Amino acid sequence: MNVDALRNHASLWAARDPDPETSAFVQGCIESSDIETLQALFASRLDFGTAGMRGIRGPGPARMNRLLVRLTTRALGLTLLDRVTNAARRGVVVGFDARHLSQSMARDTCGVLIALGIRVHFIDYLAPTPLVPFAVLDTCAAAGIVLTASHNPPQYNGFKVYWDNGAPIVPPIDAAISSAIDAIDLHDELPCVALEDAIAADLLNMLGPELQEQYLDSILKPAKATTTTTTTEAEAEAEAEADADADKAGQVSAKVAGEAGKLGTEAPAELAIVYTPLHGVAGELCLRALAKKGFTNVSVVAEQIQPDGDFPTVDIPNPEDPGALQLALVQARRERAELVLANDPDGDRLAVIVRHADDYAILSGDQIGWLLADHILASHAAADALPPGAFVVSTLVSSVLIDAIAGYYGVCSERTLTGLKWVWHRALELEQAGGVFMFGYEESIGYSVSSAVRDKDGISAAVLFAELVRTCARQGQTVLDRLDQIYLRAGYSTVRTINIAFTHPEDCARVTQEIERIRANPPQKIGPCAIDALSDYLRGVRIETATAQRTTLEMPVSNLLQLELAGGSRISLRPSGTEPKFKVYIECHVPRKDIVSLEETRRAAAATIEQLEHAIRQLL
């Protein structure tokens, strides 16, 4: 774009911008001939994909702002009218979180949809993201929109879309909306109706507190995710079988066995929990959900309980970052709590810290997934209630151990691309074929434990995990004891994630070039491990190293590269979908049949992980 075109585009944008602050900023750049800033703001547009749209707040199409939200909403509305039957009558659910501009952008979203004649179901209060997909199904809406940037830094905001099936959008819907954005001419009118006028026209349905009650009733009612809080005969038999195997192989340490023997079968009067929503919007609803299940001894992190878009106590409001959990961990140690639960700011993710003896352990996303899956499946198996066609779904970069856990219970395990959008895309396909959804997860602490919400839901997952801990206590176990039990049934896995963040474009280019070199010439070995095969999901092919035999991968195209190592271990490499970084997942897996001693297996796997990480860092 030449300078004159850039100036004209920026001038037109400033004239149409409903936000006086961002409009004035652009006008100031034009008047001062700040071409460098104008180029940064107007030379491109934020990508719109399956995650919707997310970026730093600011003026212009390369930033998140009210005008871009209006354009995107109009494009979505036109796409709905073209593709979804009775979209105008069925309407769109709109919600927002506590980030800066979220409420204003949500009201803009409502106004643009209503101007198109599309009814809006508006959650006009701070709402966790899971409420929106729940409301889409509850109201039979044509779509759902939530204004949130989830766990990104405070300067970000975003626009996330659900389709009429209550699940996040997948291709080709995202491409259709993106094309519709590009087709809008800023010279044309962009109508946006005031909400007061919409009420008079009966195009605005305000979703009040009753929506929250309906959500809580749905996620807490006895269903596939229901847990048993006492040890049944079948459960005891399964545990006895695992313990017998462990004793036979010498796999349970004396410490664990001793602790299990000393603990009684009665749970503490009340499970002591520390909870934090990390300055987000899930706090009130999560506490109500826990209370409804009998968890009333919950201590909140006072500094983080109130919604605050500045997230003042953390560097990044991401519960995957141990630093974000430090206040909760300090409080847990002070109060000797058994469990720490942390939601991310929009309430769709869950982090967990558990107490074991006199110490605390931050569980990985995979460990939480293994425990939840095992708890759900064990509860159903104990009640002889595992339905025919039962299945779990996880992502390609989630641990291979989930497949073995599902196999232990005779349940199908499916894999998808990264993201709960793909988990539920596959789950709906399997349900249409007669399958029954039991559980879905991704390693980045996203869990789906109830079909009432067809996306990750940190609130329902938090309640289920609390029930799991209560069950463990009644069975004389800690959560880490339960993990050992899973390892003895299904095999051992340890996973390490490396985040390679970029501050300069040349860094990204260098790593991308190196990964392309691996694609073109796969190495025979990495660290101490031979590479058995390379699965390239960008090119849709799996190549065996020894024979060069090629197999087509039946999966949508994705920039994911997996190195399959001898013995079931693997390394996965992919760019992040929401942040400027590459993610590397290193998993060392030991099949159940190869475990001689659990402690020896742990030590050997830890050493292998260290060697593989060293080799990867040298490579990249």
Is residue 245 over pLDDT 70?
A: no
- CATH code that applies to domain 218-490: 3.40.120.10
Separation CA 581–CA 358 (nearest Å): 36
What's the mean pLDDT in 516-529?
86
Is residue 259 over pLDDT 70?
A: no
**Digit-coded pLDDT (tens) for 569-614:** 999 998 876 667 788 999 999 999 999 899 999 999 999 999 999 9
How high is the pLDDT of residue 36? 96
How high is the pLDDT of residue 577? 65
Is residue 388 over pLDDT 80?
A: yes
DSSP secondary structure of 435-490: -EEEEEEETTTEEE--TTSSS--HHHHHHHHHHHHHHHHHTT--HHHHHHHHHHHH
**Digit-coded pLDDT (tens) for 456-509:** 999 999 999 999 999 999 999 999 999 999 999 999 999 999 888 777 777 777
Estimate the share of the chain in helix, then strand, then coil, as percent rounded to the nearest 5: 45, 20, 35
Amino acid at 263: L
Closest by CA position to 109, among listed 125, 121, 98:
121
Separation CA 463–CA 282 (nearest Å): 13
- CATH code that applies to domain 44-208: 3.40.120.10
How high is the pLDDT of residue 516? 85
What's the mean pLDDT in 56-80?
98
How high is the pLDDT of residue 120? 97
How high is the pLDDT of residue 513? 82
What's the pLDDT band for 247 if we cut at 50, 70, 90?
very low
How high is the pLDDT of residue 331? 98
CATH architecture of the domain covering 493-619 = 2-Layer Sandwich (3.30)
What's the mean pLDDT in 247-253?
34
**Digit-coded pLDDT (tens) for 301-332:** 999 999 999 999 999 999 999 999 999 999 99
How high is the pLDDT of residue 578? 61
List, in order, residues 6 or more apart from 207 with CB less than 8 Å away: 93, 121, 122, 123, 124, 135, 139
How high is the pLDDT of residue 515? 81
Q: Domain-by-domain residue ranges, the chain? A: 44-208, 218-490, 493-619
The average confidence (pLDDT) of the chain is 90
Domains 44-208 and 218-490 share a fold: yes
**Digit-coded pLDDT (tens) for 211-244:** 999 999 999 986 443 333 333 333 334 444 444 4
List, in order, residues 6 or more apart from 506 with CB less than 8 Å away: none
What's the pLDDT band for 617 if we cut at 50, 70, 90?
confident
How high is the pLDDT of residue 227? 34
What's the pLDDT band for 270 if we cut at 50, 70, 90?
confident
Say what the pTM is.
0.90
595-to-496, 527, 571 alpha-carbon distances in Å: 20, 22, 21
How high is the pLDDT of residue 579? 66
List, in order, residues 6 or more apart from 55 with CB less than 8 Å away: 46, 62, 63, 64, 156, 157, 158
Separation CA 237–CA 496 (nearest Å): 34
Separation CA 469–CA 78 (nearest Å): 48
- Of 310 and 513, the one with more pLDDT: 310
Q: Which residues, listed in sequence order, are joined to residue 100 by a DSSP beta bridge? A: none
DSSP secondary structure of 293-333: TT---EEE-GGGSS--TT-TT-SS--TTSGGGGHHHHHHHH
Torsion, Cα of 162, 163, 168, 170 (10° steps):
-140
What's the pLDDT band for 157 if we cut at 50, 70, 90?
very high
**Digit-coded pLDDT (tens) for 524-550:** 889 889 999 999 999 999 999 889 899
Kindly give the interhelix angle for 479-490 and 233-249, rounded to the nearest 10 degrees: 70
Separation CA 444–CA 73 (nearest Å): 28
How high is the pLDDT of residue 198? 84
DSSP secondary structure of 217-248: HHHHSSSTT---SS--HHHHHHHHHHHHHHHH
**Contact present, 11 and 28 (Cβ < 8 Å):** no
